[in-house]
Amino acid sequence: MKLNRYLVMLASIIARFWPSYHGSIATTVGIMIVPIMASISVAIDYSMAQQMRSRLQEISDGAALAAASELGLSGSNQNTIEEIARNYAISHDRDLKVSVTIYNETSEVQVDLSKHWKPLLIQYIDKQSFPAKASARASKNGSSNLCILTLNETARASLAIEKNGKVSASNCSIQSNSTSSKGIVVEAQANLKALDICSSGGYLGSSNSVSPRPIVDCPVIPDPMINRSFSSKNVCHYKKIKLKGGKVTLSPGTYCGAVIADQKAEIQLRPGLYQFLNAPLIIDGGSKISGKYVTLQFSGSKSYIHLTNASTVELSAMKTGATAGILLIADKSVNPNTVFKIQSENAREFTGLLYLPNNKIEIGADTKQGDACASGGPHGPKCKHLPESCETNFGQFSDWTAIVADQIEINKGVNLVMNTDYKNSDIPVPIGVGNARGILKLTR
């Protein structure tokens, strides 16, 4: 396109002088044509060379990071690592020549790319432009804390951050297992920040909204809880509970009817396991639910949780027993089409793992509540006419939070804070969450 534009411009210049065959004008034009064309050719060559170098560097960076992600994994060898880097590069440009080198006893991978092209003149001025080359080296060191994992392997936007939603995970890693080219989607006004971000497919999001740049084509991380068995008890201890105002303290056991809190009711949970069998848990109308050392297990096709905008939530997971470290479980008996909604604008304490292997969890975006924060939330009247400003730092006061779910959607008004203070917490971290993989970074 640029070449055509320059040729058209040159043709128009020549056309203006072409009718003048007299005197020195024709001679001058004839003399000028050669340097003009040479200058234009060099400019075009140089622009194309810069674009090609930039593109090759981006590909080599991605190939090195993708290959480095395999370092140290069981079953990986040099041939596997080289093939991953080569496949990544070729998938972006089939004409690339790829060289892969592994250094420092399989702790670093270097990818060198080159591509032949035929410039007009610049090859005689800048030898580095022919062929175009790029190189990147990546390493895998130490370990990082895995705090967000989406398990769905095919869905578009298995991790979606929409509108002005935010995720703050500076000290931990995020992974989407989806092989979709847009497995992670971060909208223009949203923000995703983590120690490192991996997608088994690709991602959609600008450098202004995603940091660091996600690594693509990452190996799938298996469900860390896949071997856990969460028994479901069919003996009902409690039936439907509906509160309109007032306070109540609940005990562990199986709840076989809906548990609903409304009109600024308060529910205090004693330590232990709470199973909601074909029963939803709904906290609405400025109500509050709190409990220390608890696990909420949802079983059956009619079970779900809905914490509306005006609710207040203060919960931490059990520290002993089979569900130690797990705050919320949606077991395999839950309808996979059910969406678990945590829309509370005051859910700053949520310590533990949220485990929904077959279900989507939606955090934020309680549009039906409108200006509920004006009457029931902690922000008070200042939000009355600006419901979109009723933001919450979800998990801000938690020792640590982790989410493993089929899909995750973060919506407007929410900053999901993923703390990782494992050492100072008395809530144990389940195996497979926390120190799950090495830290990937470009070293050259």
Q: What is the pLDDT of residues 276-289, one digit of tens each?
A: 999 999 999 999 99
- Residue 128 pLDDT > 60: no
Q: What are the pLDDT digits (tens) for 231-247?
A: 777 789 999 999 999 99
Tokens of 204: 């959609």
> Which are the contacts of 422, defined by CB distance < 8 A and separation ≥ 6?
145, 399, 400, 429, 434
Is there a domain that residue 137 lies in? no
Largest Cα–Cα separation, the chain: 109
Residues 340 and 417 in one domain: yes
pLDDT tens digits, 85-110: 888 888 888 888 999 988 865 578 89
Residue 289 CB-density burial (10 A; 0-12 exposed, 13-18 middle, 19+ buried) = buried
Average pLDDT value over all residues in the chain:
82
CA dihedral over 21, 24, 27, 28, signed as positive or negative: negative
Is there a domain that residue 105 lies in?
A: yes
Q: 64-78, 372-386, 388-402: which has the minimum mean pLDDT?
A: 372-386
126 and 148: one domain?
no
The 10s digit of each residue's pLDDT in 161-215 is 999 999 999 999 999 999 999 999 999 999 999 998 999 999 999 989 999 989 8
| 124, 157: one domain | no
Task: Give 415's pLDDT tier (boundaries 50, 70, 90).
Answer: very high
Boundary (domain end) residue, out of 73, 96, 130 = 130
- Domain check: are 184 and 123 in the same one? no
Reading the block at residue 194, the tokens are: 């983590």
| Domain assignment of residue 197, yes or no | yes
Measured distance CA(51)–CA(129) in Å, rounded = 11
Residue 136 domain flag = no
**Confidence at residue 11, expressed as pLDDT on a 0 to 100 scale:** 55
Give the pLDDT band of residue 25 (cuts 50, 70, 90): low
For residues 422 and 367, state if they share a domain: yes
Query: Among the listed ranges 42-46, 213-217, 219-223, 311-315, which one has the minimum average pLDDT value?
Result: 42-46
Q: Which domain does 390 fall in, by range?
A: 144-442
138 occurs within a structural domain? no
Structure tokens at 148: 């967000």
Predicted confidence band of residue 305 (pLDDT cuts 50, 70, 90): very high
> Does residue 111 share a domain with residue 153?
no
Residues 269 and 179 in one domain: yes
* The predicted structure's pLDDT at residue 386: 33
Pick from 76, 97, 130: which residue ends a domain? 130
pLDDT surpassing 60 at residue 326: yes
Task: Quickly tell me which residue has 């578009």 as its tokens.
Answer: 156
How many Å apart are CA 51 and CA 340, to the nearest integer?
46
Rg (CA), the chain: 29
Nearest to 243 by CA among 261, 269, 264, 263: 261
The pTM is what?
0.73
Tell me: do 39 and 176 sit in the same domain: no
Q: What does the pLDDT read at residue 61? A: 87
Does the residue 139 lie in any domain? no
Domain co-membership, 62 together with 202? no
Give the count of domains, the chain.
2
Average pLDDT, integer, range 61-84: 74
pLDDT at 56: 87
Give Cβ neighbours of residue 64 (< 8 Å, ≥ 6 apart).
85, 109, 110, 111, 136, 137, 138, 442
Among 130, 154, 176, which residue terminates a domain?
A: 130
CB atoms within 10 A of CB 133: 17
Claim to verify: residue 62 and residue 192 sit in the same structural domain: no
Domain assignment of residue 23, yes or no: yes
Strand partners, 141: 439
pLDDT mean over 351-375 = 73
Q: What is the percentage of the chain residues whose pLDDT exceeds 70?
A: 74
Residue 135 counted as domain residue: no
Do 19 and 154 lie in one domain? The reply is: no
The confidence score (pLDDT) of residue 376 equals 37
Over 50: is that where the pLDDT of 419 sits?
A: yes
User: Are 219 and 241 contained in the same domain?
Assistant: yes
